[in-house]
Structures are given as C-alpha cells and as structure tokens.
Amino acid sequence: MRQFNEDNLTAAVVGRLKGTKDKRLREIMTAAVKHLHAFAREVQLTEEEWFEGIKFLTQVGQKCDDKRQEFILLSDVLGLSMMVVALNHKTAPGATEATVLGPFFAHGAKEYGYGADLREGATMKGEDVWVSGRVLSVDGKPVPNAVLDVWQAKADGIYDLQTGGEFELRGRVKANAKGEYAFKSYKPKFYSIPMDGPVGDMVKETGNHHMRPAHMHAIVSAPGYQQVITHVFVDGDPYLDGDAVFAVKNSLVGKYKKMSDAEAKKVGLPAGSVKLEWDFRLSPEAGVKARKKIAASDAIA
Ligand code: BEZ
Ligand code: FE
C-alpha cells in the first residue's frame, strides 16, 4: 500500500506491528502509535514544533550519564511515574503506600544495624533526628529481618550523587528479628528538583514550580512480603500541596517531634534533637503479581 495520508496512516503503521512476536510489546507499541498520531492531529503539530520536540528529547538523553537520569526526572514531572505507581500498586488496606523512586537511589550503600548513624561522613550538618519504628505486616505482626534502604538530600537540598562525592545520608538499615529499626540522621528539608537541564528549562517554560516537600526515601524489603518504594514527608512542610513530582500521600506524612533531653542523651544525640516514630506496613507477597525487587536498571549508580 502507498498514498498515505492523515486518515489512513495510523492504521498502516499499526498494521506493520502485527508481526511483533511479543504480544505485550505489540499491545504497547500499537497504543503508543495511536496516541502519538492522535496527539499530532489534535494540536496540528507543525514540522518546526516537532523538530523542537526532537531537540528536547535529544538534550534529555545527552544530559543522562551514570550519575544523572534526566529521563526519570522528565517522567516524574509529567506525572507519568506516579501514574505507573498508581496503576501497579493498589495498596492493600493498611499497607504503606508506594510513591516515586526518583532519580537518586543508588545501589551499594553501606549496611547498618539498629541505631545506625547515617550522619557518618556527612559534609554538612542538619537538625539531628532519631528515626525509629517497626516493620509490620498489614495484620500488625512484626516482620523479622526487613531491610530499609534509606536516602535523603543534604541540608542544602542536594543529593550526594549530584556532586559526585562519597555516599552521604544513605544506607541499608537492617531491622531486627522483632521488626524494629532505628537510625540517626538529619531532619530532611525541602529542595528543588535539578533545574540545570532540559527538564528544568521545561518546568520554567510552563510556569510550574520546582520544589519537593521535605522527605526521606525508603525501600522496605523483607522475604515473603511485597517490597514498597516510598517516602516519609515532613508534616507542616510548605510544599506538601505542590510537590513538583506529585508524590505526596496523606498517609506518608510524618510528625517530627522534639525529644526530651533525657531521650536524646539515651540515644547519643545532643539536647534539642527531634525524633520521628514511623512504622512501615507490608503486604504479604503470596498470590500477588507485583514487582518484587528493585531492579538494577532502576538505579543510576
Ligand atoms: C527525589 O525525591 O529525590 C526526586 C524525585 C523526583 C524528581 C527529582 C527528585
Ligand atoms: Fe528526594
């Protein structure tokens, strides 16, 4: 067939996908082609505009390296990451809700036990915090031997990966046999998403703001349970209602409270430190088709 035009082109391209052996790939490619063509038709896309689009996508790719993942950032600010999370994590009642991974997870962080000090080697001080709690099953029973991968930005709102130094404020914290975990860190502060690349330019151009409310990230894994990729946000943060990547859930907002001097002393923190008590609740894995583990390709380092 020849003589393609705006009325028959979509069907022709979809027709050429019919031989795709992998059924799921065929389904995804077919829908992508249909939606892309519909988008071009809807906005009557000009050649100049599409060339601008191609230039933008090229710049996004060129900005990526082993430390920087501009495509994850693009997916995040377009709400696509949260859409995919929402489609794939229908949280069981009582389970900790999932939210975006973000571009700053890294494999290979140091392993710690109960009471770990994640401030070790930090190049910048913050407000000292004692984070403690339990990893529980949705039925309230302790989950033994869970691992919490935790990471957060430094006091200036920049992640260790962004400056290429040693790992900071991140670690793999093992819970004990009773599901209890605890670590020392700094209270997270709100920060800007990286604005020095094409995605930042796009955010500015669209008049959107670029702040993320203060949070720590956690991936909680335990044998026999569904892994959860989540955040704990800071109650009272001014950006909770305007997160640049749409990741806030009411159930993930935690209250940081002042510790008494005696409490702080007991865990080896200075007077005036704060604490966060936070339980994670996991769903059993049995019978659920879900991603089990974070894949190597999810990380940039
Ligand atoms: C983060 O929380 O680390 C993050 C998530 C999405 C975009 C940028 C940063
Ligand atoms: Fe973050």
Q: Is 166 helix (H, G, I), strand (E, B) or coil?
A: coil
**What is the rounded CA–CA span in Å between residue 244 and residue 167?**
25
User: The whole model's pTM is what?
Assistant: 0.90
Ligand 1 atom with least separation from CA of 215 = 2
Average pLDDT over residues 60-76: 91
* pLDDT, tens digit, 9 for 90 and up, residues 144-199: 989 999 999 998 999 998 888 889 999 999 999 999 999 999 999 999 999 999 99
In a domain, 45, yes or no: no
* 150 CA from centroid of ligand 2 (Å): 10
**Of the bound ligands, which one is closest to the alpha carbon of residue 244?**
1
Show the domain range for 249: 93-298
Please tell me the total count of domains within the chain: 1
In a domain, 49, yes or no: no
In a domain, 212, yes or no: yes
CA 167, 169, 170, 172 torsion-angle sign: positive
* 261 CA from centroid of ligand 1 (Å): 34
State the average pLDDT for the chain: 93
Nearest CA among 215, 268, 286 for reference residue 245: 215
CATH code assigned at 156: 2.60.130.10
* pLDDT, tens digit, 9 for 90 and up, residues 94-146: 999 999 998 899 899 999 999 999 999 899 999 999 999 999 999 999 999 89
**What is the rounded CA–CA span in Å between residue 131 and residue 169?**
13
CB-ligand 1 contact for 282 (6 Å cutoff) = no
State yes or no: pLDDT of 296 exceeds 50. Answer: no
The best mutation among 82, 237, 245, 246 to test binding of ligand 1, ranked by most ligand atoms within 8 Å of the C-beta, falls on 245
**Of the bound ligands, which one is closest to the alpha carbon of residue 211?**
1
CB-ligand 1 contact for 100 (6 Å cutoff) = yes
* pLDDT, tens digit, 9 for 90 and up, residues 7-65: 999 999 999 999 999 999 999 999 999 999 999 999 999 999 999 999 999 999 999 98
In a domain, 195, yes or no: yes
In a domain, 229, yes or no: yes
In a domain, 62, yes or no: no
| Joined tokens for residue 207 | 């008049």
Pairing of strands 116-117, 228-234: unpaired
In a domain, 34, yes or no: no
* pLDDT, tens digit, 9 for 90 and up, residues 218-266: 999 999 999 999 999 999 999 999 999 999 999 999 999 999 999 999 9
In a domain, 12, yes or no: no
Of all protein residues, the one whose alpha carbon is nearest to atom 6 of ligand 1 is 102
